[in-house]
Structure 1
């Protein structure tokens, strides 16, 4: 492959810290080119984090590099090995089966480096029986949701761009190939630690942990037991992330340990979904027949995954007691973060002893009436303490209106108790309760048009989702209840 030495615009300086690991950690290889690539989507916000901008897409080298057809100067493409528990069962060796790391570039703010990875760049030694490709629909979904989650303020990997080609790949039917360029300080996973533990290669386990500490958690190196401190911090970040997911109704769909970030980021967007008609037992992944990764299970599975990481780190932490101590804070951290987020969503500035009852009663109404999650909280921000007649748009979402009316009386009393002001509360609630989320049907409309080579809806939807808390009245329809046909949409692990 050629390099980009002849590029017409300045490119960031590539390196590859992961290539400094011993050879057992990865396989060096080249992406498999795709013919005649074209640009489908580009994130200005993600690009800005590495000092790039949209003008670079005009350079022919851009499409070639971010489809895997050319190699950037200094890039050392590789695929990493890891293992993991999938649906609670040990799956053994996995690895980057369709993702190839191009390397890392300096962050624009001078704080570290950002790894760029091509998802869908061709087969690797870890592809098992897969073709190493990603299809247009899954790439668009990951591109849009990565950036939507970032705009919601939730820790996540980012997506720089998505490119496509007319080359066909087989899934349930023939589809066109696509590549999404995703970004993160690191893509190291819980399963990266499990790989070395279950293979009883504790020297490599230590190499991995030491590198993670030095590169991403240097402040922990001064602790008496840095490995215990690392496990404690990852557990804390994971617990907070689960609370953030729950607060916006986000469902990951496949929370295997190989899909859990050691940095506490939302990682690997596959069969995800945002809650619409509320059902705590909702399963967004059609493959998950047992509901292991349902909405209500996510916090518990987050904790289970931390325990799996703790097991893998036991040889480093040194004792079962210290490992358990590192993990022990999960529930308290999750509950505190969830409480903080729910109070903010309800516009409550203080915490009172009976708030739990008020919140539980609210969720009972959401459950019994299957109220649209996003619209409920957004319209709740419009509630006026002394004008119940203004509740009608909110009441329209609810089947059991007497139950809501009774709850609203208690809610108003609670607001009066802290001298809440309608105008300031509305501003505060609208700043945390999004008007726009990536509903499955919105993504599907963008995908359908993209399959006809019309990428305008991808760009429009990304722009709307980049400002999820703003009113954007010209785009009100993107905040509507999903149409009837959307109830038939399903996503699975093949998505």
Structure 2
């Protein structure tokens, strides 16, 4: 990286570099032969105070060729369970943390380059990324943000002017992303596996200070820290399932302490509902299938708990008991978030004991029916609005190959909505007059949480193909523009709400960034 530094107008405050010596390796990015800025997320750039640079300067910084003023480029070290097997040393093999900045609200965020060249943790790789994988992460992460799901964000895409060999030569690129932090379960595992408990404590104290400062005064801060991370991950994974997202590689090094979605590699959204949906080329046994994601999240959190045991209690038996209880509670917490989300998707306002069974029965009616997951929930709202749920022209029925089970489920749902109306009216009647509010419109409630648009796999591939093969970024820009407002029907965007044509075939994604 050149000694010349560029002023981006950013307020760097690099606490990780300053407070956690031994947790990273300082290193430069590789010089890009011909860096070009092809995408800047202008709204995100503005929110973090990025202002004082032209496209050529941004290309130099965001390719890794030059460091901005205030940056402290480093590669973080971590370990991780990958598909169940433990790797004692991983780390940022092709990523550089430029540093941390304080955004306009005073919130601390990381700025990280992905694909900027080899680091001490590259493990034989070239440290580079290809354009298609970079665009995929940009599209998916910004779609998740628009869907109100915690996630890293995409700040910029820079092409490097290189051709990178994968299965074939592909254009090289670097993604710049923004995150609350890049501290992972695997970061704790790295030091714990080496018996460096002082560094586990140092990391835990740093993570609490940065992400859970309310725990500093707790009488049991490390147990409460574990519980807080469990809660964040329970909510995150529930939100994934509610929109049909499959992460694809839920290794412990891909689970953040902050509770954000990270590392969009072999990920995808389902078109047809399939509890066993797998899109990753390397997940041959379905370890990280759609329905397994909460199970694996809990498994990962148990690995975090193992690293914290000496901090939870000096008594090993007591530490295990307390940590086990915290991790065991994950499932009920997850199910609570998921059920609350499903009630919203189905227009239910007031809790009822049988709601879990009702939601599970809906999924059972969908399984094996090649029914589009996103379209069904929007269509339910449409049918409710047009009062056509019981008619032979009910459009939601037509999404099924065989709607018999679904039709039976609809009767249960309609009866449930009637009871919900009664409960809402009763609740309203018992509300003091000065606090009364009109009952929210059910269809509007449903449409506010059921997206019209998700990153359909064929649309994502179309955008990537156009950019890789013809340097045509218009399909990419068009897709991003639609995904910015996923809950609102947009004129001329009808194709983006449709599932892939049959000719698209089965879909497989690959690790590649």
Of 430-439 and 355-364, the range deviating more from structure 2: 355-364
CA distance in 1, matches of 2:503, 2:64: 37
CA RMSD of aligned residues (A): 1.9
Match of 2:476 among 458, 466, 469: 458
Structure 1's 181 and 409: CA in aligned 2 closer, same or farther, altered over 3 A?
Answer: same
Structure 2 counterpart SS, 1:417: helix
Give me the whole-angstrom Cα distance separating, in 1, the residues matched to 2:369 and 2:340.
Answer: 25
Aligned residues: 489
Contact 2:10–2:49 under 8 Å retained in 1: yes
The correspondence for 2:151, drawn from 149, 156, 164, is: 156
Does residue 473 in structure 1 map to residue 501 in structure 2?
A: no
State yes or no: 1:60 paired with 2:56.
Answer: yes
Matches within 5 A, 1:26-425: 26-52=24-50, 58-111=54-107, 113-318=108-313, 319-384=319-384, 386-387=387-388, 388-389=390-391, 392-419=394-421, 424-425=441-442
Can you list the C-alpha shifts for 1:33-55, whole angstroms capped at 9, x where unaligned? 212122232223422331336xx
Structure 1 residues 298-307 or 395-404, which shifts more?
A: 395-404
C-alpha separation between the residues in 2 aligned to 1:391 and 1:476? 21
CA distance in 1, matches of 2:137, 2:307: 29
Return the offset for 1:88: 0.8
Partner Cα separation in structure 2 for residue 207 and residue 407 of structure 1: 53
The 8 Å contact of residues 141 and 152 in structure 2, kept in 1 or not, is answered as: yes
Name the CA distance, whole Å, in 1 between partners of 2:32 and 2:490: 38
Measure the CA separation in 2 of the matches of 1:346 and 1:423.
Answer: 14
Residue in structure 2 matched with residue 442 of structure 1 by the alignment = 459
For 1:419 and 1:174, the matched residues in 2 are separated by 60
Work out whether residues 101 and 115 of structure 1, in 8 Å CA contact, stay in contact via their aligned partners in 2.
yes
TM-score between the two structures when normalised by the length of structure 1: 0.95
Residues 348 and 417, structure 2, Cα contact 8 Å, conserved in 1: yes
| SS in structure 2 at match of 1:365 | helix
Q: Write the deviation string for residues 45-88 of structure 1: whole angstroms up to 9, x where unpaired.
A: 422331336xx674421111111111100111010110010001
* Aligned-pair CA distance for 1:389: 3.6
- The structural deviation recorded for 1:325 is 2.9
Specify whether residues 405 and 323 from structure 1 end up closer, same or farther in structure 2 by C-alpha distance, changes over 3 A only. closer
After TM superposition, give the deviation of residue 423 of structure 1 in Å. 9.0
SS at match of 2:395: helix
Q: Is contact 1:228-1:323 (8 Å) kept?
A: yes
2: CA distance, partners of 1:423 / 1:203: 53
| Shift, 1:390, TM fit | 8.2
* CA offsets 1:148-196 (integer angstroms, 9 cap, x no match): 1011111111110111133111111111111000111210100000000
Q: CA contact under 8 A between 1:47 and 1:160: conserved in structure 2?
A: yes
1:377–1:433 CA contact under 8 A, matched in 2:
yes
Shift of 1:321: 2.0
Give the secondary structure class of the aligned counterpart of 1:281.
coil
For residue 432 of structure 2, what is the aligned residue in structure 1?
A: none
- Tell me how far apart the structure 2 counterparts of residues 177 and 248 of structure 1 sit (CA, whole Å): 31
Distance 1:215 1:353, change over 3 A: closer
| SS in structure 1 of the partner of residue 38 of structure 2 | strand
Q: Distance in 2 between matches of 1:57 and 1:404?
A: 56
- Rounded to whole Å, the distance in 2 between the matches of 1:213 and 1:355 is 36
| CA pair 478-150 structure 1, distance change in 2 beyond 3 A | same
Unaligned segments of structure 2, at least 5 residues: 314-318, 425-438
Distance 1:464 1:215 in 2: 34
8 Å CA contact 1:41–1:455 kept in 2: the answer is no
CA shift at 1:217, angstroms? 1.2
The answer to whether the 8 Å contact 2:456/2:499 transfers is no
Q: Distance in 2 between matches of 1:351 and 1:218?
A: 32
**Is the CA contact 2:110–2:181 (under 8 Å) kept in the aligned structure 1?**
yes
Structure-2-length-normalised TM-score: 0.92
CA distance in 2, matches of 1:391, 1:57: 57
User: For 1:330-349, what per-residue CA distance to the aligned partner results, in whole angstroms no more than 9, with x for missing partners?
Assistant: 01110111110000000111
CA distance in 1, matches of 2:382, 2:457: 26
Contact in 2 for aligned 1:152/1:468 (Cα 8 Å): yes
Partner SS state of residue 175, structure 1: strand
